[in-house]
Amino acid sequence: MFPVRKFFVDNQRPKICASITEEDKLSVTAAADIMVQKKVDIVEWRIDFFKKLEDFSEVEETLKRVHESLGKIPLLVTYRTENEGGNGKLSGEEYRELILNLSKNCFVDLVDVEVFNGRVMEDDVKAFCGDEGLTVPEILEFIQTVRENAAVIGSYHNFKSTPDKETIKAALEIIDSVGCDILKIALMPEKNGDVLRLMTSVNELKEEGTSKPIIAMSMGKIGSVSRVIGESFGSCLTFASVGQESAPGQIEVSKLTNLLDTMHSLR
């Protein structure tokens, strides 16, 4: 399995990930070549954009071609559902089957799992539920099965708002408790204070003892600063754009690299 602890080392400049959002095999592999030229640290294939997803042999061939292009650059594969801001329309059962199949592919290093997929975040985040939802023990079992072959980024995306600090921390704690290797949260701010609340929540959680890497981003123009200051608050990775943005507020990879290098040199 991908060596998460060795890759995300404390006190290093945050890693940069860029996403491939092309729709066919030739375009996906061409984008992978560009990622190598841009010297990103991780490449994410947003497979929810792929037009031939139902043909898994085409998916596997594309994975092989991307791996050949990337060499030693780790590959993260993500199927982002409509519930969390993506194009994915699979049912809960279909989603889990796809994630399991992707994790078994030898060319996949990391997979994204939407821990709250198909559920509604209630006042008490631990009371999440959904028509197709799993119980917490079932989520734990599912993630442990995925982890037999690939590292898991457990994620939660909210494109509508930024919850209060208690909800943010509770969401990350649940992602941690079900066994994910990396904890990811991305929220939409309405004002500058929302960005600060997210970043301070992550900082507090790190200080309180979680040893797992955390990826935290505030989206949109207001939140773009969070993609630069993550190192100061305990966020280990940020997403940059190479061509089309995969999320609002991303910064072009060369600009972000310079900004992160500058921030790191000042610490």
Active site residues: 157, 184
C-alpha 227: how far from chain center: 13
What is the amino acid identity at position 92? G
Asked if residues 187 and 158 have their Cβ atoms less than 8 Å apart, the reply is yes
H or E element, residue 172: helix 165-177
Tokens of 174: 């649940």
Distance from C-alpha of 241 to C-alpha of 235, rounded to nearest angstrom: 18
Distance from C-alpha of 175 to C-alpha of 139, rounded to nearest angstrom: 10
Distance from C-alpha of 106 to C-alpha of 109, rounded to nearest angstrom: 8
Distance from C-alpha of 48 to C-alpha of 45, rounded to nearest angstrom: 9
> Tell me, what DSSP letter sits at residue 161?
-
The residue among 36, 40, 29, 41 whose CA lies nearest residue 65 is 29
Sign for the CA dihedral angle at 232, 237, 242, 246 comes to: negative
| Unique residue bearing structure tokens 């089957």 | 97
